[in-house]
Amino acid sequence: MRHPCGRQDALACGAARPPRSPRGPAAQARGRSDRTSRYGPPHWREQLGKHRAMSLISTGEPRAPILVLTIGNPSRGDDAFGPVLAGMLQDWLAAKTPAVQQAIELISEQQLMVEHAMDLAGRQHVLFVDAAAQGDEPVALTPLSAPPPDASLKPFDSHRSSPAQLLSLCEAVLGTTPPPAELLTLTGSSFELDTPLSARAQAHLPQAWSLLQSWLDRVLHH
């Protein structure tokens, strides 16, 4: 398993990951950056270009085919859903075989940025985990698809992105087909700063964990 924090408490707190090692040979087969000329403002392309340049330096380290990317602020009520589930997943992985550990990369961030599009390239399966302010179900697992390029560029913040926008950037900017992706959400009720997970969110954690395990079982045996 390759994940951004070497300790469980780092994952649990949702700390920003330190700079990761440059990617291996698999990263060399990505689309050319000059395909970005008609997609988005130059500063997007500059950010992705720098991140991509680092990834093209070969270290011989293969990229895990499965990525679980959790999102959330552990100090903001139910927004801690992502980091909490990341900690549960890390404990689960610790008891698995090296083959399973090497097949899954776990990244925990407080928010998504355009650079995370690079983390999607070369994957076989991606799962985003995040809290939602609204939802028909307390917990839901839904497939994601990239919006059309024009739609993905309309309200786009280079410092905060959505999973669907990252999928679109993967294709439009990096020139590579985005991997199959799904989104696991827990509908939160409280997002106040310096508050813990609400009792409602805690009650639905077992259901969310069960869905995550089912997803992993499905993609590991795909």
Is residue 1 one of the residues assigned to a domain? no
Residue ranges in 79-162 assigned as alpha helix (H) = 81-94, 98-103, 117-120, 149-153
What is the distance between the alpha carbons of residues 114 and 123, in angstroms, rounded to a whole number? 17
- Predicted local distance difference test score (pLDDT) of residue 148: 66
At residue 149, the pLDDT reads 59
CATH for 84? 3.40.50.1450
Q: State the residue range of the domain holding 90.
A: 8-220
Q: Tell me, letter by letter, the H, E, C secondary structure of 17-67.
A: CCCCCCCCHHHHHCCCHHHHCCCCCHHHHHHHHHHHHHHCCCCCCCCCCEE
Structurally, the chain folds into a number of domains equal to 1
Q: Would the pLDDT of 143 be above 90?
A: yes
State how far the Cα of 207 lies from the Cα of 111, in Å rounded to an integer.
23
169, pLDDT greater than 70:
yes
Phi, psi dihedral angles at 68 (to 5 degrees): -115, 120
Question: Which pLDDT belongs to residue 105?
Answer: 96
User: Is residue 2, in this structure, part of any structural domain at all?
Assistant: no
Structural domain includes residue 112: yes
Average pLDDT over residues 183-208: 94
pLDDT digits (tens, 9 = 90+) for 174-186: 778 899 999 999 9
- Say if 203 falls within a structural domain: yes
Q: Is residue 3 part of a domain?
A: no
pLDDT averaged over every residue in the chain: 75
Per-residue pLDDT at 62? 77
pLDDT (0 to 100) of residue 175: 78
Q: What is the pTM of this model?
A: 0.71
Q: Over 80: is that where the pLDDT of 190 sits?
A: yes
Express as a percent the part of the chain with pLDDT over 90: 49
Bigger pLDDT: 217 vs 39: 217
Residue 145: pLDDT band by 50, 70, 90 thresholds? Answer: confident
